[in-house]
Structure 1
Amino acid sequence: MRPGAGVLRAVVGNKKALAGAIMLAIFVIAAIVPQLFTTIHNPNQQFAQMLPPGSGHLLGTNAFGQDIWTQLVYGTRQSLFVCVMVGVLASVVSIIIGVSAAYLGGLGEDLLSLLTDVFLVIPALPLIIVIAAYAGGGKMPVLIGVLVITGWSYGARQLRAQAMSLRNRDFLESARVRGERASYVIVFEILPTMVSLIAANFLGIALYALLTEAGLQFIGLGNSSANSWGTMLHWAQTNEALQTGQQWWVIAPGLAIGLLGASFALLNYAFDEIGNPALRPVRRRKVRR
């Protein structure tokens, strides 16, 4: 079987996962080539203020005279970039700490488990706000770092539990008997059996990063000059968009955040099927008479 064939089959065979994959693909295309979705190539270009939706401006213009649809399309890149980067980095930290703690055992397991428990019980939102406020949340590396620090622990606990169930399996015992190093066993023996859980963990962290990044931008702890959905919500709230008839300035980024988050959640159905065969739909064979 080709690598990734099982994932592709699970996505195509599940209507919810397929819908999520299609939605995510649209957002990825918009992030890479936003010119395909709008004829205005500068999201900060100014027109007449507060124009209603029409042929020239699909969602109208805001209080600054900026085209709302163009801002929405160009804001996809930063929002999706933050999701992917935080998802990848936090997943790597989760794998290193969670799987290592389960396989190594002894004092190393106790220390890594204690570290995971500490981050699990720390209130995430106040910690995020404090770090972002004092470390300069408007800087992209700081924002990503804050989300990674606060987003890895739950996945590490899940991966540790799964790795502990594999720790005494025969194929791992044979690898140890062959004299393989711990790093080899973890990377080439344990992780390939946990691909579906790692992918599900990535999607969960990406969803967390999407919502939290938008929330930080909304309350003014991000870069207010950046093009992102959270920044659109921030300026819409600041300029009382709902009270002044600029509803699409609020609805559009909120709907985009919801749809991207839904695509992550729907894709999770495919990885649930891979990890748990009992969830796979039963396909009945037609009986020939």
Structure 2
Amino acid sequence: MRGLLQTLLANRKAAIGAAIVLAFVVLALAAPLIAPFDINQRVATPHEPPGADHVMGATRMGRDVLSQTIHGTQTSLLVGFAAGLLVTVIGTAVGVTAGYFGGKVDEVLNLFTNISLVIPNLPLMLVLAAFIGQTGPFVIATIIGLTSWGWGARVTRAQTLSLRQRDYILAAEMLGEPAWRIIMAELLPNLVSIIGFNFIGSVLYAVITEATLEFLGLGDPMVVSWGTMLYHAQSTSALQVGAWWEMAAPCLALVIFGSGLSLVNFAVDEIANPRLRTLRVPAGVLAGLKRSHALQGTGEGGRT
């Protein structure tokens, strides 16, 4: 695990992406200390533009947009990481179980996986959220987690089927090792890259989906998050009156956080698949090649 962490940090994409994600995590944990104003306090005039007193302006209710964006980081990241963890756990459990045991177990689990993949996720989540009513962050995370595990299960199953025929797995079975120990000690350590890729992608998907559901009015409007900020800005016609900053602040937060997760995701994919790595030629080798070409050019010029 330490070697994997060092490999990730040595990758420029992973280092930049991890720094962005870590900055948002610190921002969420320290939100009560960093936010300049109370999120429910009227501290400005309605739709006050950005200025010295309010860097990101104010909402129609006179609330500081910067403070709401900082506090909204807590809810959005909580939903994202909770839903991502649930998706990863379910997808990994289903995929490993189906790939390792095979037979009837594989057929049944593969059937449920196909059903999960065939049903469109967003319409299903819209129906569930509308049926439940105004849902809180925990319910939204649960809905996302229970409806979005199919892709991760399919990828994990395919990789497990490949590892299932490896010599060390067959040797462990011949030695009489129980199935649970083979899965925990032999299979899962070799699935770390797949599991990490699934988790990071699921977190990104969950954050965007949570913002979408709340923007459509299916979340709890009393809870401050990036999605509810967009919902309130849309319901108060912020863009129509020129208060673009009410939409820009949560959108910018979503873009930056999503970019950080995407960079980490690309880095994990490069590390897991060496064919995606770009070839980096050392500077000394490049200098030697240039000198060699220069000498060859000189020699050709002298002969002519």
Which band: TM-score by shorter chain?
Answer: over 0.9
Compared CA separation, residues 91 and 115, structure 1 to 2 (3 A): same
Aligned partner of 1:18 among 7, 15, 20: 15
- Residue matched to 1:186: 183
- Residue matched to 2:245: 248
Letter of the structure 2 residue corresponding to residue 34 of structure 1:
A
- Residue matched to 1:75: 72
- Residue matched to 2:291: none
Instruction: List 4+ stretches of structure 1 deviating above 6 A.
Output: none
- Residue matched to 2:292: none
- Residue matched to 2:223: 226
Aligned partner of 2:107 among 110, 114, 135: 110
- Residue matched to 2:201: 204
> Is the CA contact (8 Å cut-off) linking 1:78 and 1:227 kept in structure 2?
yes
Moved more, 130-139 or 249-258: 130-139
Aligned partner of 2:119 among 109, 122, 128: 122
Could you list the per-position Cα deviations for residues 65-84 of structure 1 after superposition, in whole angstroms to 9, with x for gaps in the alignment? 10001100110000001110
* Identical-residue share of aligned pairs (%): 40
Q: Secondary structure at the match of 2:54?
A: coil
Shift of 1:175: 1.0
> Is the CA contact (8 Å cut-off) linking 1:17 and 1:270 kept in structure 2?
yes
Letter of the structure 2 residue corresponding to residue 150 of structure 1:
T
> Is the CA contact (8 Å cut-off) linking 2:49 and 2:245 kept in structure 1?
no
Letter of the structure 2 residue corresponding to residue 238 of structure 1:
S
Q: Distance in 1 between matches of 2:179 and 2:77?
A: 35
Q: Distance in 1 between matches of 2:167 and 2:27?
A: 47
TM (normalized to structure 1)?
0.94
> Is the CA contact (8 Å cut-off) linking 2:14 and 2:264 kept in structure 1?
yes
2:129 corresponds to 1:132: yes
Could you list the per-position Cα deviations for residues 267-287 of structure 1 after superposition, in whole angstroms to 9, with x for gaps in the alignment? 012211221123334444535
Shift of 1:107: 0.3
- Residue matched to 2:2: 4
- Residue matched to 1:44: 40
Letter of the structure 1 residue corresponding to residue 5 of structure 2:
V
**What's the Cα RMSD here?**
1.6
- Residue matched to 1:174: 171
TM (normalized to structure 2)?
0.89
> Is the CA contact (8 Å cut-off) linking 1:136 and 1:142 kept in structure 2?
no
Compared CA separation, residues 136 and 179, structure 1 to 2 (3 A): farther
Compared CA separation, residues 137 and 194, structure 1 to 2 (3 A): farther
Q: Distance in 2 between matches of 1:256 and 1:216?
A: 17
Q: Tell me the matched-pair count.
A: 285
Could you list the per-position Cα deviations for residues 33-90 of structure 1 after superposition, in whole angstroms to 9, with x for gaps in the alignment? 02454322x2111122222211111011110010001100110000001110011111
Q: Distance in 1 between matches of 2:204 and 2:11?
A: 23
Letter of the structure 2 residue corresponding to residue 8 of structure 1:
Q
Aligned partner of 1:145 among 114, 138, 142: 142
> Is the CA contact (8 Å cut-off) linking 1:86 and 1:206 kept in structure 2?
yes
> Is the CA contact (8 Å cut-off) linking 1:21 and 1:267 kept in structure 2?
yes
> Is the CA contact (8 Å cut-off) linking 2:160 and 2:187 kept in structure 1?
yes
Q: Distance in 1 between matches of 2:134 and 2:273?
A: 39
2:155 corresponds to 1:158: yes
- Residue matched to 2:28: 31
Aligned partner of 2:254 among 252, 257, 260: 257
> Is the CA contact (8 Å cut-off) linking 2:86 and 2:146 kept in structure 1?
no
2:214 corresponds to 1:217: yes
Letter of the structure 2 residue corresponding to residue 210 of structure 1:
V
Letter of the structure 2 residue corresponding to residue 45 of structure 1:
Q
Letter of the structure 2 residue corresponding to residue 67 of structure 1:
D
Shift of 1:4: 2.8
Letter of the structure 1 residue corresponding to residue 9 of structure 2:
V
Question: Which ranges of structure 1 fall in alignment gaps of 5 or more residues?
Answer: none
- Residue matched to 1:273: 270
Moved more, 176-185 or 67-76: 176-185
Compared CA separation, residues 68 and 114, structure 1 to 2 (3 A): same
